[in-house]
Structures are given as structure tokens and as C-alpha cells.
Structure 1
Amino acid sequence: MNARFHLKPMDYIQTPESKLTFNRSLFAEVAPKYDFITKALSFGRDTAWKRALVAGLPAAERPACIDLACGTGDITRLLAERYPDGEITGFDLTPSMLDRAAQLTRSRNIRFLEGSMQHLPFESGSLDLVTGGYALRNAPDLNQTIDEIARVLRPGGTAAFLDFSKPRNAAGQRITHFALKFWGGLWGTLLHGNPDVYGYIADSLKLYPDRTELRERFEKRGFVPQKRTLLFGGMLEISRFKKG
């Protein structure tokens, strides 16, 4: 990780401004290894989970879609396969991630844009689908990001996300934090010489709402929770919401 981030991630993710700066530096560091590490951390299950996310989306002929925190574009490309006549946008904070995504992409109905989830460059009510893989947990300001998702989606539109999931009970939270801290720290040490590069996942989950509260935050903004799928013993979750 960039040398100026010599403190622990928790020192940087307490405010939206510092978390935005931290995320930009962190994901620039991990971009060259991102595809490998998502598979390693998930024991090879990441691709199947993302396919399940996209397979669970509603049928549509020409949907306008945005894939938040698209990284190297794996979900973005799956959306293009599912909706070959749709308009697909991969959206990410990190230029090096977007460069890698563009190199891997051949679909003509995909474009990539750089920006923050707190300010989506779309007109209100202009999108049919919003997706994200490990996106919401990395939002600098989660409430503002959900507000933006609600703003850009049309009534009846769908938002669907894959991310680490926080149980409501304290014991479950401790177990999840320990497991993620150990496994992420191991890979951070092996690949970057710094356990906090991927140990950050556990730290970010500490400040993230539990799975019940997350649904409630969407409900407060006019969303109706749809099917929820817990993965990997409940450590991850595919969550789907329909805008009322």
C-alpha cells in the first residue's frame, strides 16, 4: 500500500472524506492482483456468486444498468451477456481498475466511467438496474449512496448486491471479524507485505450495518426487499431490492 498509509485502516475509514481517499489509494494498489485475490479470498467461489447475482435479476430487453464499484468489470461483462441489447455502465473510483476492465472487455454495449458512488452521473429515474460486487461496504457515505441509487432508479427498478454480510448478534460478528482478519491478513502479507491491505475488509465490516439494518435503510428510501441469499455460512450475501 502507498507508504503514506502507515496507520491502520480504521484510522482512515471513520469519515467519508478520508475513506474516499483511502479507497482510491488502496484499490490502485490492489488493481493488478484484483482478479486473483477475489478468487483466492473466496476459495474460488467468487465467479459463481457473481453469476448467481446476475442470474437473479429480472428479465428485460433493453435495460439501462450501472455496475457500482465495478473493479475489473466481471459483473459488468456478465450484465452485457445477460442483456445484449442493454446499456451497461461500469462505474468505479479507481482509474487503474477501469483501465484493466477496458482491456478485458469486448462487448459493444459497455462503457466505463470514473467517479464516486455518492454522486452518480445519471438523471433521476433513468436506470432500470443497479448492481454492485463488494460495493456498498466501500461506500464513503452509505446513506448518501443509497439515496443516489434510489434517485437514479426508475419506479420498479432493481438494485442487487454481493458483499460480505454482518450478522446481528455480537458472537457472530466476532467470529466473522476474526476469520476475515486472519484470511485477509494472510493474503495481504503474501502479496503486498502488508496484512492490512486485505485485512481492511474486516475493518470495513465493523462500521457496516448488519444485514437487518441494511434492509431497513433501503426500506426507508422506498425499496422493497426481495430474495436474500446467504453464502459461505452467512459470511456473504446476495441482496436484492425493488424500488417502489
Structure 2
Amino acid sequence: MTTERAPQGKSPEVHGIFQKIAGYYDRMNFVMTLGRHARWCREVAVRAAPPSGGRLLDLATGTGVIALEAARRYPGVSVTGADFAEQMLERAKVKPGAEAVRWEHADAARLPFENESFDAITEGYLLRNVDDLDGVLREQHRVLKPGGRVVILETCPPSGPIKPVVDWGMRTVVPLLGQVVARDRSSYTYLESSTRAFESPQQVADLLRRIGFHDIGWHTRFFGTNVILWATRS
């Protein structure tokens, strides 16, 4: 499990949650994934593979972990990190290497970019927090160039034989960690409930295919509670 990026298109109350967690976002990510979060973000950046001289958009950039990794890995690529939560962006802008990224305040449901603007799109913990999943993915399809790749890091509901154990852990441990580490139980109660209510990787893949993506694949991580999913615009 992990904490998440700012919600796009959700109610002001939910948006407020993500403004509030910005100060301890990175610390909670580390604790809740037992240190795996940074590795997953590196994998997202690697799978995006934008061409030299191209443009990469990191949506729901949060504190900029994926965007900064992409900027380090691809110095010849123009990297834009966009998020709906101003407090998240303020944290990202003061990190080492932040000057290599263009930071944008933007709503993923209404991206302020021209059609076919980017060679690759990355995102972390965005989709579970939007009102219109289909519309948000269509926006990404719109601003992505033909042949460009989208790479998604997201939580997913547990499944399989260990589902009851993982469900119990999410209901019990996640809010408790929020209370102990961040003094914020309510925000992490939202985290676990939104994860368990979200689509499966197969359902997200089916939606991507209907929108016009192909070469779709995914790998689950951390007892099936996180997934890295990728697709290419036809």
C-alpha cells in the first residue's frame, strides 16, 4: 500500500485531504510500502522510455518522485510534472533537481495541453481518485502522440487466496499507520476504502483498449495491492 497523489475532479473535501498530507507524503510512502515506492517509481520512468528530444508528462506528480526520476534518467527530454494540489507542487519544487522539471498546476480531467503534445505520460495514484475514469484516460489519449506510451502506478483491490488477510490489513493497518506516523487517521481511512473500491487491473486494461490503446500489460506488486500498468497509443 501507499499514500497517493492529489485527487483530480473530486469534491473539495477530498481535495483537502491531499493538500493536508503533502508534508508527510514521502515519509508515509516509504513506511507503507516498506521502502519499495521509490523502486516502483523508477520502473515507471524506465517503462515510459521517451525519445531523446521528446516530452514527458507526469500526471498527479505529487512531490515529484516520478518526474524527478525521469528528468535524471532522460536529460535530453523535457519533463512536465502536473498536479491538482498546490501543496504537493510546493514540496516538489524544492527537491534536488527540481529546476530540470516544469511544474504545472493542472486538473487531469481538463489538461491544459494541445493535442498530441507528449511522447510519454506517467502517473502515480491518480485514477482511483477521479470522478470520470473514462474521461481522464481519454484526456491522456488526446495529449499523447501516436505511438507514445502511458505508464500507470496505481493501487488495486486485493484478490486471490490471500484477499481476506490483505483486506483485513488494509482496513486495520493503513489507518493505524496514518495515526501513528502522520497523526492523521481519517485521510488514510479514505486511502484504504478507495483502494478496495477501485477497478481491477483487467478492468482498467479493458477501458484503455476501448479508448484506443494497445500493447497493454501490467505487473502487480506488494501482495497484489499495487500495479504498474502500461499501454501504447495506437
Q: Same fold (TM over 0.5)?
A: yes
Does 1:183 find its partner at 2:162? no
Matching of residues 69-84 of structure 1 within 5 Å? 69-84=60-75
Higher relative contact order at CA 8 Å, sep ≥6: structure 1 or structure 2?
2
In 2, Cα distance between the equivalents of 1:33 and 1:107? 19
In 1, Cα distance between the equivalents of 2:12 and 2:164? 27
- Secondary structure of the residue aligned to 1:161 is strand
Does 1:134 find its partner at 2:125? yes
Match for residue 37 of structure 2?
A: 46
Q: How many correspondences in the alignment?
A: 228
Deviation sequence 1:67-93 (CA, Å, 0-9, x none): 111111010101101221211111111
Matching of residues 134-153 of structure 1 within 5 Å? 134-153=125-144
**Post-superposition offset of 1:138:** 1.7
In 2, Cα distance between the equivalents of 1:53 and 1:38? 16
TM-score normalised by L of structure 2: 0.89
- Alignment CA distance shift 1:173-1:140 (3 Å): farther
Aligned partner of 2:26 among 21, 35, 40: 35
Does 1:163 find its partner at 2:154? yes
> Identity over aligned residues, as a percent?
27
Q: CA RMSD in A?
A: 2.1
**Post-superposition offset of 1:57:** 2.5
Deviation sequence 1:126-146 (CA, Å, 0-9, x none): 111111111211223211111
Indicate conservation of the 8 Å contact 1:168/1:212, yes or no. Answer: no
- Secondary structure of the residue aligned to 1:155 is strand
- Alignment CA distance shift 1:194-1:74 (3 Å): closer
- Alignment CA distance shift 1:181-1:63 (3 Å): farther
Structure 1 runs, 4 residues or longer, greater than 6 Å off: none
Match for residue 5 of structure 1?
A: none
What residue ranges of structure 1 are gaps of 5+ in the alignment?
1-12
Match for residue 217 of structure 1?
A: 207
- Alignment CA distance shift 1:79-1:23 (3 Å): farther
In 2, Cα distance between the equivalents of 1:152 and 1:234? 30
Code of the aligned partner of 1:70:
T
Aligned partner of 1:122 among 105, 108, 113: 113
- Secondary structure of the residue aligned to 1:85 is coil
**Post-superposition offset of 1:119:** 0.7
Match for residue 4 of structure 2?
A: none
What residue ranges of structure 2 are gaps of 5+ in the alignment?
1-6
